[in-house]
Structure 1
Amino acid sequence: MRVNLNFTNKGKVVIENFNNEELLEIFGRYINTLTKKYAVDVTVPVEANQAIVADGNFKVILSNVKCDVETFFKELGRDIKVPLKKRTDGKLENVFKIEVIE
């Protein structure tokens, strides 16, 4: 199952403060932490995420899904705000919306 995390307008503004490698590392770290809690395998295809800021989305591939995908990504959305807030001033709301592509 493929999933696109489409950044909201505020999310796009915030991720402009990061380079592609930083975003891959941040998302990878938080996804790995959550996969210890949720029964799902997540792959982050580096070749599909070469221009995260320009594309306005982050692509992942899920396999062995034995959890609620919406819940997994809602928690990721909450967790990912922590490192993103460090380079922005003000309140950060929803960073991305989930688009499931089966």
Structure 2
Amino acid sequence: MFRTIVTMTLFLAAAPALADSDPNRRTDLISADLNIPEQVFKDCFLDVQPDGDKAPSGDRQRMNKAVLLPCLQAANPDITNDLLDHVMDKHRPEGPIRN
């Protein structure tokens, strides 16, 4: 029993940090690139609605950006729309969104 608990604890500690609503997002890497605490990114990302395994529609992208960008800028005013796009594309497992 103890061995199982220790193994699970070590596994969870070593697992990458991911966004709840998008399990493919490495929140530790994204937040570092945006120069904000990881928990801030996770909190701001809570209301973002990814489109699963496909690229979100233009309307969905704009809706998500309207939620995410102001929240992130409250933590770091240096975050611009272009910086956010660059960082999110950099860490998007399927690669940059092509419009």
- What TM-score does the superposition give when structure 1 sets the normalisation length? 0.39
User: Which structure has the higher relative contact order (CA within 8 Å, separation 6+)?
Assistant: 1
Greater strand proportion: 1
Larger radius of gyration: 2
TM-score by length of 2: 0.40
Structure in which a larger fraction of residues adopt helix: 2
